[in-house]
Amino acid sequence: SRSHLSKKQAASVEFRNVTKRYGNVTAVDSVSFTIEPGQLVTLLGPSGCGKTTTLRMIAGLEMASEGQILIGGRDVTNLSAADRDVSMVFQSYALFPHMSVLENVAYGPIVQGVPKKDAYEMAMEKLSLIGLKGLEKRAPSELSGGQQQRVAVARALVLEPQVLLFDEPLSNLDAKLRRRVREDIRELQQSLNLTVAYVTHDQEEALAVSDRIIVMSNARIAQTGTPRELYEEPASLFVADFIGDANIIAGDIASVSGAMARVQVGPLSLDLPHRDAGSGAVKLAVRPDAILLDEAAGTLAGTVRKASYLGAQVEYEVESPIGNLFVVQYGRKEPIAPGTPVSISFASQRGVAVIPEA
Ligand code: ATP
């Protein structure tokens, strides 16, 4: 019956004050967020912050201790995994070694009672979609790591779930393949308009694939935003430090005018957007590429201590009255030699975030 192949609408995922406790460990602490239909949202954070537990609660593999979980507006808090219309791609792929690729992918529909012939047809459709046509008779052990990963994705897609979950899907692949597979996942997600929740601890991966990122720390959400918002406007030192590199520089609020603050940093006066900087001491999180070095004299003088030529970019360590700075300059410029005096300025407001003192 063709109805198994019918296309479903992407669904939203909503957490309302969801808590998960294991004995006296609170793995997830009153977390709320929404994943819009067709978005790829990454749960990012250090080991133990609660991201896997959050993902498993979307799947129904763990039950919430408190709060509400909605998928496509439907309350699924107390539904089992089988009743949630969600599929997960596991870190280990979890393929059945004694079954062929085709049997692995057709397994889900067959268990659900779809006639074998139809299940194989559904499986073949997903295998060709994902570029594995011709390999369907092989055993998983006869495939490369990247191909096994694709089989796992095909298997998760075969029932056309409303939501697709990925738990560190690239961790078993080498660095080069990781990049390609993450691009494949993103392309697939966009072309099929899938709602995806994706767990990783790799900030670069998160920046590359996500519509939005939920940064977690100690069982709570530290910040949610687009990759660009998180990189350019981190709300805390934790996020500034976890995503990309940041120079943390001390500053003082001189005045505030609406959304803009005038911040004194050593001899420099900067007009910067802020959230709730208040008055007095603040920290600035300054991205290495937001700092400009000039060999002509300027207001803030420094000295280049180290220059590393890396082809597309040059990385500098610069000694200055406002602290030692890590500076990255892109483009085919002649590197500035160590020992050279430079003047330091800030390229723009982008990449210079005002963070209130905690
Ligand atoms: P990692 O990147 O290391 O997988 P994570 O961010 O995914 O970390 P979780 O696996 O969600 O973190 O774990 C969050 C916290 O809950 C940790 O302190 C962990 O030890 C604890 N925890 C997770 N699962 C269980 C369990 N089944 N029983 C007891 N404690 C658990």
Best residue among 19, 25, 242 to mutate for probing ligand 1, ranked by most atoms within 8 Å of CB: 25
Helix, strand, coil % in the chain, rounded to nearest 5: 25, 35, 35
Model confidence band, residue 246 (pLDDT cutoffs 50, 70, 90): very high
Nearest CA to ligand 1 atom 3: 47
Residue 6 has pLDDT above 90, yes or no: no
**Ligand 1 atom closest to Cα of 45?**
6
Q: Is the ipTM of this complex over 0.90?
A: yes
CA of 27 to the centre of ligand 1 (A): 6
Given a cut of 50, whether residue 4 has pLDDT beyond it is no
| pLDDT at residue 319, rounded to an integer | 97
* CA dist., res. 111 & res. 168, Å (int): 26
Class of domain 2-232: alpha beta
Question: Residue 28 Cα, ligand 1 centroid: separation in angstroms?
Answer: 9
pLDDT digits (tens, 9 = 90+) for 278-332: 778 999 999 999 999 999 888 999 999 999 999 889 999 999 999 999 999 988 7
User: Residue 195 in 3-state DSSP?
Assistant: strand
Residues with CB under 6 A from ligand 1: 22, 25, 27, 45, 47-53, 201
Q: Torsion angle, CA of 189/195/197/202, rounded to 10 degrees?
A: 30
Q: Where are the domains of the chain?
A: 2-232, 245-356
pTM assigned to the model: 0.89
pLDDT of 218 over the 90 cut: yes
Topology annotation, domain 245-356 = OB fold (Dihydrolipoamide Acetyltransferase, E2P) (2.40.50)
For 13-36, b/e burial (b = at least 16 CB within 10 A) is bbbbebbbeeeeebbbbebebebe
The rounded Å distance from CA 30 to ligand 1 centre is 16
pLDDT at 1 over 50: no
Per-residue pLDDT of 95-137, as tens digits, reads: 999 999 999 999 999 998 999 999 999 999 999 988 889 999 9
The tens digit of pLDDT for each residue in 72-81 reads 999 999 999 9
Q: What are phi and psi of 240, to 5 degrees?
A: -60, -40
